[in-house]
Each structure stands twice: as C-alpha cells, then as structure tokens.
C-alpha cells in the first residue's frame, strides 16, 4: 500500500512541468538545513585535521539520512600544515600592531620571531622587476589593486602576490613576505589561502588585512626605514588522513555514463566555511535529493564532497587516480560561494551541442545567461576533466565572494537565501537535463 502511494506520488512529481520544478526548488529547505547543520555542528574543518574527520563522519550520517545510496568515504593521506601564533608589530617611532595571518604552507619565524626592515612594492610585477639585492634579509611587502568582479577574474589577475610571491621571495633571499590580502573588503580580517613553495625553502609568509596593508603602505611612504617584528609559528605535522565523501542516486541504466556533482567539504581554519564551500556541498546534495524524490533518473548521479581542496586539491587528485574520467557523462562542481548562478558554461564536445542548448534553454527562466561552449571546470573536477570527463560550470556571481573568501567573516549570516536557493533550482534543472528523464512509471 505504501509503495503504491509512493509510486503515484513519484508519477505526479515527475510529470511536473519544469516551471513548477524550478518554483519548488526556489523554496528549497534541504540545502539550507545542510548548510546550517554542517557549519554549526562541525564548524571550521581544515584538511587533514581531526575537524575534517568529524566533517566526514557528519557527512556520512547526513547523506544516509537523506536517503542516498552507497554512501562511503575514500580515504587518502596528505601532508598537513597547521597554524600557530601570528603577530606583526611595527617597531620604532611609529610602533603599532598590524593584523596578519599566515598563508598555508608558510614557514615559521620560530618562537622568538624575526625583526627585519620592510621593502614594499605596489604590485607583484614591481616586486619581480626589482633586484634581489634590495630584498635579501628583508621583509618583502606586496600591494595590489584587486577590485570586485562578477566573474571573479580579479582573483587570478591579482593573486600572484600570494600564489607565487612567497616562493620567489624565498629564492631571492628575503627573510619573510607579507602580502596585502587577496580580497576586496575593508574589514580588519586578513584572507588566508595556500601558497606553494615548490622547490624553494619555505619562509614566513603572511597576509595583512586590507586596511592594515594600507596602513603599512602609508608608513613606507613616510620615507624612513620601517622595521617589523614578525611572529608566525605554523608547522608541518606530516602525513595525515583526509578523504572524499561519496553518495549516489542510482540510475535506471547501470551502463549509462554517470553525472558527477561536487563541492569541497574542507574549509580554512579561521571560519566555518559557509561560502567556501559548505554552500556548494549543500546545493549539489539538495539538487540530487530533489531529483531522487521525483523518481529515478536514467543516469546515476554521483555526489562527491571532496576533502582537502584548500590545502592542495588532494581530494580531486585522489579521486581522479581511482576513477576514470571517461566514465562520466558530465562533471560539475559548486565552489564559488552562495550567490546566484548568472551564467552557464559547457565543455561537453561539439557532438553534444543540442544537449548544451537544451541546458541553456532550461536555465534561462532562472535568469542565467548562456556562456562558453568550450570551457568549463573547477579545482576538484580538473583532474577528472584532464582524463577526458566532459564538464560544465554553473557560474556564480562573485561580486562579494572575495569580501569573505578565506576570512573569519565566512559565516552563515552573510547568506542571501533567495540567491542561495536559486542555485538549488539551477542545479536541479541541470540534473533534469543531464541525468536523463526521471522515471514516470
Ligand atoms: Zn573553495
Ligand atoms: Zn577556498
């Protein structure tokens, strides 16, 4: 009796026109509940730490409770870095504290800190153009002029100071490096984030909050030597366990290629990781759940909440090593906050242009504009796409993303519920198109 009622409920749901499915998804509560509970009950969850392990346990329990199949963890080990103390003080006539945070992989100053003169540059290019001789033994400081952009392109355009500056400063013999936070806010909250030393020796590498960077720039403009007492004591604690959490909505056709929807479960250690990337996990799981509740899709939907993205895309690499990119019909990830999807990009091949166009048409009522046919991607799905997985991107509005990104301000109160739920509607729509028709029996 129950199954008959359930089946007729499925029939009613799956026979719904797309407009109704989207209207319902705009009222979604599932994603919000996941986001609130994950970020409250687990909180910050840095890759490789016990907090991230708690996040995996929480996720397995929640994904099972939501009714997904084959919920499991694929564990891997990865080098792990943890934050220590962090303080910066200008010495001498203008003595004052500056707000600093260590970048991921930063070296340590030791518990006594270091005192060195600051040499400042207005851009990463200016730093590169300057002779190493003026940087040796100094604390290099790099400013930049990043502004907000809808597509987030200012992050890569101005992020070089953080991504590559520390390694380059190390090669040039600098004692330490401080960058203006790669962010667009005016809060006294520095933006952390990974830096990669490659074969260079790690040196202390920190980000000043945007206002503190402005303060230091003005101090340098006074034209007198500025010396900073810098204390940062992060540590590499060796290989630790992380893992990817995987769940499925089984499709009707077990031989059909799968649809993968993803986010990353880990966050930085300074905030509960709401925009980056609890929101993404909540959005993709809620969309898959909405499809599952309508009936059985043709293709299996695989939900992957990747581990240890922030600290080096370890989860994305491990997943691609164990799975074959060519097994996927399409892969997509949500990792750009909680604001609305504004554009759809696909990279699923010339021969699937009709499918790409059906997707564009289906997303248009949500205010989403058509974008590229030949580029899509994301950090965690990148390795799978290199193996040949077709990809698509539901691009989110990044105008305020870099106000919050990797700061202590990445908290729940910043979420705009209407924009957040528009994401759920967009991802549900995408799955309707890409995972094939929902069974109407
Ligand atoms: Zn992220
Ligand atoms: Zn991030």
Ligand 1 centroid – CA 429 distance (Å) = 23
Ligand 2 (ion): which residues have CB within 5 A?
A: 276, 310
Q: Which ligand is nearest to the CA of 311?
A: 2
Contact 347, 374 (CB under 8 A): yes
pLDDT of residue 437: 83
pLDDT in tens, 331-376: 999 999 999 999 999 999 999 999 999 999 999 999 999 999 999 9
Percent of the chain with pLDDT over 70: 96
- Looking at the predicted structure, is the pLDDT value of residue 12 above 50? no
Residues 47-72 have a mean pLDDT of 98
Residue 379 CA, ligand 1 centroid: distance in Å = 8
146 — pLDDT class (breaks 50, 70, 90)? very high
What's the 17 CA to ligand 1 centre distance in angstroms?
Answer: 34
Q: Using 50, 70 and 90 to split pLDDT, how confident is the model at 9?
A: very low
Q: Give the pLDDT score at 37.
A: 98
> Could you tell me the distance, in angstroms and rounded to a whole number, from the CA of residue 310 to the centre of ligand 1?
6
**Which ligand has the minimum distance to the alpha carbon of residue 280?**
1
Q: Average model confidence (pLDDT) for the chain?
A: 96
CA–centroid distance, 422 to ligand 1, in Å, is 19
Tokens representing residue 382 in the block: 């990148």
Q: What is the DSSP string of 258-308?
A: EEEEEEE----TTS--IIIIIHHHHHHHHHHHHHHHH---SSPEEEEEESS
- Which bound ligand lies closest to the C-alpha atom of 268? 2
- Quote the ligand 1 centre to 276 CA distance (angstroms): 5
pLDDT value for 6: 38
In the numeric block, the tokens 């600098």 are attached to 174
How far apart (Å, rounded) are the C-alpha atoms in residues 55 and 45? 7
Q: How many Å lie between the centroid of ligand 1 and the Cα of residue 437? A: 31
Confidence band of 14 (pLDDT split at 50, 70, 90): low
* Percentages (nearest 5) of helix, strand, coil residues in the chain: 40, 25, 40
What distance in angstroms lies between residue 403's CA and the mean position of ligand 1's atoms?
A: 14
Going from the Cα of 291 to the center of ligand 2, the distance in angstroms, rounded, reads 28
C-alpha span between 306 and 262 (Å, rounded): 7
Q: Are 176 and 195 in contact (CB under 8 A)?
A: no
Whole-angstrom distance, CA of residue 66 vs CA of residue 31: 11
User: Residue 314: helix, strand or coil by DSSP?
Assistant: helix
Residue 15 pLDDT grade (very low, low, confident, very high; cuts 50, 70, 90): low
What are φ and ψ of residue 17, in 5° steps? -65, 155
Domains and CATH numbers, the chain: 2-81+238-434 (3.40.630.10), 84-233 (3.50.30.30)
Distance 379 CA to ligand 2 centre (A): 10
**81 CA distance to ligand 1 middle (Å):** 17
Closest CA to 283 of 334, 215, 352: 334
CA of 264 to the centre of ligand 1 (A): 6
Name the pTM for this structure: 0.95
Q: How far is the CA of 406 from the centre of ligand 2 (A)?
A: 6
């Amino acid at each position: 009796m129950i199954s008959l009622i359930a089946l007729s409920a499925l029939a009613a749901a799956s026979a719904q026109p797309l407009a109704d499915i989207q209207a319902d998804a705009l009222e979604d509560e599932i994603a919000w509940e996941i986001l609130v509970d994950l970020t409250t009950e687990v909180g910050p969850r840095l890759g490789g730490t016990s907090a991230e392990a708690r996040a995996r346990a929480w996720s397995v329990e929640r994904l099972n409770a939501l009714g997904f199949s084959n919920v499991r963890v694929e564990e891997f080990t990865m080098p792990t870095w943890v934050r220590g103390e962090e303080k910066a003080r200008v010495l001498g006539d203008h003595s004052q504290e500056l707000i600093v945070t260590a970048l991921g992989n930063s070296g340590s100053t030791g518990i006594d800190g270091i005192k060195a003169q600051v040499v400042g540059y207005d851009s990463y290019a200016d730093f590169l153009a300057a002779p190493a001789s003026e940087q040796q033994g100094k604390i290099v400081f790099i400013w930049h002029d990043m502004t907000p952009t809808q597509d987030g392109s200012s992050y890569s355009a101005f992020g070089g100071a953080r991504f590559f500056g520390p390694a380059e400063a190390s090669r040039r013999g600098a004692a330490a490096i401080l960058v203006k936070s790669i962010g667009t806010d005016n809060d006294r909250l520095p933006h952390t984030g990974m830096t990669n030393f490659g074969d260079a020796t790690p040196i202390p590498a920190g980000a000043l909050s945007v206002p503190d960077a402005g303060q230091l720039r003005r101090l340098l403009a006074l034209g007198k030597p500025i010396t900073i007492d810098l204390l940062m004591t992060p540590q590499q604690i060796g290989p630790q366990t992380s893992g990817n959490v995987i769940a499925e909505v089984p499709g009707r056709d077990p031989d059909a290629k799968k649809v993968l929807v993803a986010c990353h479960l880990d966050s930085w250690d300074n905030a509960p990781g709401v925009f980056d990337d609890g929101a993404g996990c909540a959005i993709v799981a809620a969309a898959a759940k909405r499809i599952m509740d309508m009936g059985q899709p043709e293709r299996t939907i695989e939900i992957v909440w990747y581990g240890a993205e922030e600290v080096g895309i370890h989860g994305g690499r491990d997943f691609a090593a164990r799975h074959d990119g060519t097994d996927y019909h399409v892969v997509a990830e949500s990792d750009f906050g909680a604001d609305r999807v504004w554009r759809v990009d696909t990279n699923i091949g010339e021969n699937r242009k009709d499918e790409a166009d059906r997707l564009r048409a289906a997303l248009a009522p949500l205010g989403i504009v058509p974008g590229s046919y030949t580029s899509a991607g994301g950090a965690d799905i990148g390795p799978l796409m290199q193996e040949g997985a077709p990809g698509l991107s539901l691009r989110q509005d990044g105008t305020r993303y870099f106000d919050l990104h990797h700061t202590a301000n990445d908290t729940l109160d910043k979420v705009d519920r209407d924009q957040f739920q528009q994401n759920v509607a967009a991802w549900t729509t995408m799955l309707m198109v890409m995972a094939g028709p929902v069974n109407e029996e």
